[in-house]
Structure 1
Amino acid sequence: MIAPGGRMQLRALHEGTSSLPAVALAAPDREGDTFAKTTPEAMLHGVYFGVRGLVRTVVERFAARFGAYPTVIATGGDAALFFDDDEFVERIVPDLTLRGIALAAQAALADAPEDA
């Protein structure tokens, strides 16, 4: 799955409207009230719980279709912020995409002719 990250969502809310403020990405207080009391809190809650809900929904649909839960690896620089305590996420690897690019480059170089 590919989906917009939290920072992109917050930026879109700010830039795509005339009155919503710029808000830095942060996890809401998990011990506090689920319901926001200010506009910036509401924006953070919407993004935070929206991202977590998106992943939960996709994982549950996968399990229903295939009869087993998938291994879920959260990637990206903000993965820990969203998923450090999530029951569906087995691992957090922030730089997984870069690792994949490095492996692909190594494989391409290994297969390249010497004089190329």
Structure 2
Amino acid sequence: MLLAIDAGNTNVVFAVLEHRRIVARWRIATDPRRTADEYAVWLSQLLQLEGLSREAISGVIVATVVPRALHNLQVLATKYFKTEALIAGRAPVEWGIALDVDEPQSLGADRAVNTIAAHALHGGDLIVIDFGTATTFDVSDYRGAYKGGIIAPGLNLSLDALVTAAAKLPRVAIEAPKNGSSVIGTNTVDQMQIGIFWGYIALVEGLVARLKQEVGRPTKVIATGGLAALLQDHTAVFDTVEPDLTIQGLAMLWERAHIAG
């Protein structure tokens, strides 16, 4: 079985896969200071709860946008899973797609992996929206080439900025406002939820409309990330939601490397 690790700015996701099927999945807060030993204790207990063993893991692949976290994840693979971790974007798991942008080396690993997975699953011209710490919009063409995109503040980040900067505003839950589709709030909490929730949907819909206009061809919109499920019932902008897109892409890269090898 394969252990796929997606180290993001907020969380590290660990997933065990068997032939691309996700057997188990866990997440832990990202902390570059967390040692391989700490990861191992936490992960071993979770594997046991799922009826799995460390010995069942025959490969490890990592994608990270937090360079300081990488070393300890590599040590985790060699020390506790007796295998060398493959690093997405490095030999022998290079992207294998054209990166038609000014600074290809600066593209986040998760965004490249999402592009690869979305193209394999859906084909055609695509916009992939990943709702994470930041919300990223990634455009790829029908050949699978990465063309560029947009980086916007994430939903939680937007709320944090609002609460931090305005002393009298309370922290509110990120959820659909209780007054339905009305955008006239009658109290502070309602007004904040409307601004965050419907304001963010307006941001997504507006940016997607501009991207589609610029692409100029029929374009499918794929959503991923933890907050995609929260928004999907309140907008028609998504063609599909793929909650495990990055993990699926890592499994595809692993398979490609071993078929090529």
TM category, shorter: 0.7 to 0.9
**Partner residue, 1:99:** 248
Q: TM-score, normalised by structure 2?
A: 0.37
**Among candidates 16, 39, 43, match of residue 192 of structure 2:** 43
Confirm whether residue 58 of structure 1 aligns to residue 200 of structure 2: no
Aligned to 2:165: 16
Q: Could you say what the CA RMSD is over the residues aligned between the two structures, in angstroms? A: 2.5
Once the two structures are superposed, residues 66-106 of structure 1 have per-residue CA deviations (whole angstroms, 9 ceiling, x without a partner) of 333421111111112112242221111223233334434x2
For 2:153 and 2:244, the matched residues in 1 are separated by 16
Give the equivalent residue in structure 2 for 1:80.
Answer: 229
1:67–1:91 CA distance, 2 compared to 1 (3 A): same
Provide structure 2 residue ranges, at least 5 long, that are not aligned to the other structure: 1-136, 138-150
Q: For structure 1, which runs of at least 5 residues remain unmatched after alignment?
A: none
1:86–1:16 distance in 2 versus 1, CA, 3 Å:
same
| Percent of paired sites with the same residue | 35
Structure 1 residues 59, 94: closer, same or farther in 2, change over 3 A?
Answer: same
Match of 2:238 in 1: 89
Looking at structure 1, the residues matched to 208 and 179 of structure 2 have their Cα atoms a distance apart, in angstroms, of 22
TM-score by length of 1: 0.75
Instruction: Return the alpha-carbon distance in structure 2 between the equivalents of residues 57 and 99 of structure 1.
Output: 28
More helix by share: 1
Query: Take 2:256 and 2:215, find their aligned partners in 1: how far apart are those partners?
Result: 34
Residues 31-72 of structure 1: CA deviation (Å, up to 9, x unaligned): 353211122221211111222112211222123223334211
Instruction: Name the structure with the higher strand share.
Output: 2
Moved more, 71-80 or 31-40: 31-40
Cα distance, 1:108 vs structure 2: 7.7
- Whether 1:29 aligns to 2:181 is no
